[in-house]
Amino acid sequence: MTSPGLLALVGGREWGDGCSFDADLLAASGGNDVLVLPTAAAYEHPQRAVDRATTWLSALGARVRGLMVLSRADAEDDANARAVREARCIYLSDGSPMHVRSVLKQSKVWHALDQAWEGGAVIAGSGAGAMILGDPMIDPRGGAFTIGLGLIELVAVLPAASTWSTERLRRTISLAPAAVALAAIDEATALIRDRAGAWSVSGVGSVEVHVGGTLADLSALPR
């Protein structure tokens, strides 16, 4: 039975200095192709996100393809779903978590991404692209919790953690459901789940895990 592939939850400022983990993700995929979904950046120049990914990842030997899944119609397109299902390394950009959730939720592209991961593909999401991979998801409008897409459950991602005020961070931690592991991830930093379900941190910053309002170690994250 095939185990899920690597999962990388990046705290933002993707595809730039400090993101040394991208070389490891590419190697883990077993190929050189990376499919970039700039869905979260639909209203923030999505092509620029693809261009940044291309510049950074090409220097690592990758061949980058941007897949413009920007609307619900794009997410229900059979050709787009097929491209995602066949990809071995998929990277979701930063941007608006609410938009990417509304576009992908229960769509053909989302089901294809789930199938790709279950088949061993590497899945990486940064910022908003990381937030929606867990369930529940932090609502950026107020810091409370809402429904995520649940590629991995009982994990909530708080990206760019070092940019949050102490008050806002404490409030969000206090609102987290008791069974949920809240991962506060710095920019240019990845929280990585390997094929066996073990978690590690890579990049320039750090990751804090909070469960039930208490600081915990990585072993508290679900395998």
pLDDT in tens, 199-209: 999 999 999 99
pTM score: 0.96
The pLDDT assigned to 141 comes to 80
Closest CA to 156 of 183, 177, 189: 183
Asked if residue 1 has pLDDT above 60, the reply is: no
Q: Supply φ then ψ for residue 20, to 5 degrees.
A: -65, -20
- Tell me what the pLDDT averaged over the chain comes to: 95
The string of pLDDT tens digits covering residues 138-196 is 998 877 899 999 999 999 999 999 998 898 889 999 999 999 999 999 999 999 999 99
pLDDT (tens digit per residue) in 112-143: 999 999 999 999 999 999 999 999 999 988 77
Tokens 């059979």 belong to which residue?
Answer: 78
109 close to 29: Cβ distance less than 8 angstroms? no
Torsion of Cα atoms, 26 then 27 then 29 then 35, to 10°:
20
Return d(Cα 12, Cα 130) in angstroms, integer. 9
* Segment 38-78, tens digit of pLDDT: 999 999 999 999 999 999 999 999 999 999 999 999 999 99
- Asked if 186 and 38 touch (Cβ cutoff 8 Å), the reply is no
CATH of region 7-216: 3.40.50.880
∠ CA 143-146-150, rounded to 5°: 120
Q: Cα-flanking dihedrals φ and ψ of residue 54, to 5°?
A: -65, -45
Q: Please say whether the beta carbons of 89 and 113 come within 8 A.
A: no
Whether the predicted pLDDT of 96 surpasses 80: yes
Give me the pLDDT at residue 2, please: 64
Q: Which two tokens stand for residue 77?
A: 């397109």
Q: Which of 33, 17, 145, 22 is nearest to 84 (CA)?
A: 33
Amino acid in the structure at residue 171: R
